Amino acid sequence: MDNKHIFTEKLRSSGLRPTKQRIEICKLLFNRKDTFHFSISDLKNISTKKISLATIYNTIHAFTRKGYLKEISINSDKTYFDTNTSDHHHFFDENKKKLIDLDDNNVGKIKIKKTLPGKKIKSVEILVRITNDN
């Protein structure tokens, strides 16, 4: 069971043609229990089928625009993406250079007391940098 028809429908209903490359990427990303943090090169590496780099970029960006992926900011040369698009935060393990989810309900309420005229808050993201405890 690889959910091919489900992905096909999902793609179609978002106005994206269900090509074999997109379905393959869907399988890699969404046929897993846990949320997946990855960079483009990670994705390239785990893919057995040959999909061009440009297609991987295009697809991941399309999925991000559709809200199926979330882009994550850390100071690193690579951009990371997350299959968990819910409101949540991250630990960044500086030793392992790995992201770990931090659920919104594992963080106390955040109050932003400063406001800026003519601006509205789009999102509030927390990054907790962690290191080995020694």
- Which chain residues interact with a second copy by CB under 8 A? 71-75, 79, 91, 93-94, 100, 102-103, 106-114, 116, 118-134
Q: Which residue, 94 or 103, is less far from DNA as judged by CB?
A: 94
Nearer to a second copy, 33 or 109 (CB): 109
Q: Which does 55 bind (CB under 5 to 8 A by kind): DNA, a second copy, none?
A: DNA
CA-closest candidate to residue 21, choices 39, 3, 47, 42 = 47
Instruction: Establish if 97 lies at the interface with DNA (CB under 7 A).
Output: no
Q: What is the DSSP letter of 96?
A: T
Nearer to a second copy, 50 or 122 (CB): 122
- Name the packing angle between helices 4-13 and 20-30 (round to 10°): 110
Find, among 126, 103, 2, 109, the residue nearest to 25 by Cα.
2
Q: Measured between alpha carbons, how far is residue 29 from residues 26, 33, 69, 106, 127 in Å?
A: 5, 10, 9, 25, 23
State the binding string over 37-66 for DNA (x if CB under 7 A, else -): --xxx--------xxxxxx-xxx-x-----
Query: Between residues 17 and 114, which has the closer beta carbon with respect to a second copy?
Result: 114
**Cα separation, 123 vs 63, whole angstroms:** 19
Query: What is the smallest separation between the CB atom of 122 and DNA, expressed in angstroms?
Result: 19
Residues 73 and 75: their CA atoms lie apart, in Å, by 7
| 31 touches DNA (CB under 7 A) | no
Residues of this chain that interact with DNA (CB under 7 A) are 12, 15-22, 39-41, 50-55, 57-59, 61, 77-79
